[in-house]
Structure 1
């Protein structure tokens, strides 16, 4: 194990959210409108085509939850409570600089939270079809995305033309291909990229677009290629390999990933919407109907809100084949019923069909279960 050159040559090493905020502020200062979002289903190409910048809003801190529980049910998903608490406390710097917010109907808790924050910012909620293979699903989702486009045009007094959307699609496809290539370096043994670096890359790519993002990501690919070719590793040669799937990760829930580090294992893949999910797949170019092309691609994002969610099983199969993990950790946030129920199918696939060790973790953003988690993770790695 060696000490490789950092992938980002700036003052924000190990602080991806600060780097993301710096990128948002830089673009806002240059005149871009800031549109806040919580989810990978937000069609950011429409925002980029307007000349705007998407900002991923705060959602992963335990500190904001007590404030949220003054209004919201205690037994609600911690991600939703944390999100609302940040807004009430005015402590999310991304939300404070937004000109508008886009929501989506991925879960009941979030869509009702959007009703509460609609008085604080101009808000548009996208109605997401959750049976993506049903007849008419793509057409309806295209209609919903077009409604978002009209909202932005009316709110900001602009026109978003198809040529600009098509250009944004091309940049998205190139950016997504580079992010996938970077995350694919997790396949090397021993590891040449850490989970923190993967998280840094995806956090950067979510809020940075155009040639700047592509240039930076190409530079990172070159750095990782150099590491691989020179035998520069980020984990011990015999380290157990872990793939993390399930709910979004970030902030206080990174405690799970840090505990894996403490056990001497290497996380080689992040299969979540703060990892691979937001960047997998491509949008078809030159169709003559870019909104439909966007709709088609976004409906293939394999979130547990979808039914049937066969895409997630297909991606997991591919990731296990590519990354060769010794253990798959299925991370579920408390009260996230879709991911919790779907864990039954995930375990059956991972253990039964793929012959790989599996550990389901249900947690929140508090530190109360760290001792128990450390014991369970350690025991699961010993069995690999």
Structure 2
């Protein structure tokens, strides 16, 4: 890696959250309203269309959890506790600069947390239908997204036109195609992109839009193309390949990804909300009903909150076929019951249908299980 051109040539190299914050602050200083979001289901096209900027509020640090547990139950998802703890401590820089927050009904724990933070910021909760193939699901989701549009317009005394929405849709599609192309470099053998670089790219793309994002992502695509053509690899030939699926990753839970590195393997795909999920799929352009087009695309996101979550199995098949991993690691955060239960079906698919090795990891943001995880990851890789 020492002689490789970095994807981001700035002072925030390998610090994606600081880079994302710098992007948000730049937009805010230019007059943009900041709308905090917790999930890939938040239709950020409406935020971009009103000239605002989205800021991701999920936190992945163990440091704020003791504060959160003064209010929240200890056996709650660590992501929720960390996010709320930072808000209570007033040390989440993203939340501190938000003008409003959008939530969604993907998770019971988050739904109740939203009730607590509604006292701190103007907040709108989107009611997400969780049986996406049911008749009327898309129409209802469109209605819910329209309610978010009304909330933004009233909160910020603005109007979001269909033309602005259409432009935001087209820019989103261009950006998502580029991100997918970049993540697709994980298919190269040997690897020409690291998981840290993938994470950097997805974090950057979440808070940066328009021509600025397009130009930067095209630049990154050119760098990776050059690496491939010049055989400039990020891991040695024959390195075992890992696809990570499951819950969102970041901060302290990156311990799992770092342990894979330490065991001499390469993570070649991030099939999670902080990876591919937020960028897969397209919004229909010039549909005549941009809100419905947005609704239909977001219902395709394969989160475990959906039932039946057929789309996740389809995407996982596609990713295994593209990336050809030696091992699939299914990372589940403690108390995330949807992903934990769904792991049964994921394991069956990976082992029995795809013929690939599988390892389920249930963890939190503490470092107490690092030794055990290292042993389990090492053993799983030895069996590949």
Shorter-chain TM band: over 0.9
Q: What is the Cα deviation at residue 58 of structure 1?
A: 3.8
Q: 1:367 Cα shift? A: 0.2
1:338 to 1:58, Cα distance in 2 relative to 1, 3 A: closer
What is the aligned partner in structure 2 of residue 319 from structure 1?
319
**Counterpart-to-counterpart distance in 2, 1:58 and 1:265:** 28
Mapped partners of 1:244, 1:43: distance in 2: 25
Do the aligned residues in 1 keep the contact of 2:58 with 2:79 (CA within 8 Å)?
no
| Structure 1 runs, 4 residues or longer, greater than 4 Å off | none
> What are the within-5 Å matches in structure 2 for residues 265-344 of structure 1?
265-344=265-344
SS of match in other structure, 1:183: helix
Do the aligned residues in 2 keep the contact of 1:190 with 1:236 (CA within 8 Å)?
A: yes
Q: Distance in 2 between matches of 1:2 and 1:234?
A: 9
Q: Are the counterparts in 2 of residues 127 and 144 from structure 1 also a CA contact under 8 Å?
A: yes
Report deviation, 1:3. Answer: 3.4
Deviation at 1:213, TM superposition (A): 0.1
Query: How many residues are treated as equivalent by the alignment?
Result: 384
Instruction: Look up the match of 1:53.
Output: 53
Match of 1:75 in 2: 75
Alignment pair present for 1:250 and 2:211: no
- Quote the offset at 1:377 in angstroms: 0.2
Cα deviations across residues 296-341 of structure 1 (Å, max 9, x unaligned)? 0000000000000000000000000000000000000000000000
Residue of structure 1 in register with 2:100 after alignment: 100
Taking only aligned residues, the RMSD between alpha carbons, in angstroms, comes to 0.6
Q: Does the CA-based 8 Å contact 1:102-1:126 persist in structure 2?
A: yes
2:335 counterpart SS class? coil
Matches within 5 A, 1:1-384: 3-384=3-384
Contact 2:131 2:137 in 1 (8 A): yes
8 Å Cα contact 1:20/1:203 also seen in 2: yes
Show structure 1 runs of 5+ residues with no match.
none
- What are the superposed Cα offsets for residues 15-63 of structure 1, whole Å, 9 maximum, x if unpaired? 0000000000000001100000010000000000000000001410000
Structure 2 unaligned regions, length at least 5: none
Is the 1:23–1:208 Cα contact (8 Å) retained in structure 2? yes
Give the drift of 1:167.
Answer: 0.1
CA distance in 2: counterparts of 1:38 and 1:235, whole angstroms: 33
Query: Take 1:122 and 1:92, find their aligned partners in 2: how far apart are those partners?
Result: 17
Contact preservation (8 Å) 1:58, 1:92: no
Task: Give the C-alpha shift of residue 173 in structure 1.
Answer: 0.1
Instruction: Specify the SS of the correspondent of 1:113.
Output: helix
SS of match in other structure, 2:4: coil
Is 1:58–1:94's contact at 8 Å kept on the other side of the alignment? no
Query: Normalising to structure 1: TM-score of the pair?
Result: 0.99
Q: Distance in 2 between matches of 1:311 and 1:162?
A: 29
In structure 1, what is the Cα distance between the partners aligned to 2:136 and 2:82? 35
State the Cα distance separating 1:238 from its structure 2 match.
Answer: 1.4
SS where residue 224 of structure 2 aligns? helix
Q: Tell me, what secondary structure is at the counterpart of 1:153?
A: helix
Q: In the aligned structure 2, how far is the partner of 1:358 from the partner of 1:58?
A: 27
CA contact (8 A) 2:58 2:80 kept: no
Q: Distance in 1 between matches of 2:269 and 2:368?
A: 26
Shift of 1:2: 5.8
Distance 2:38 2:55 in 1: 8
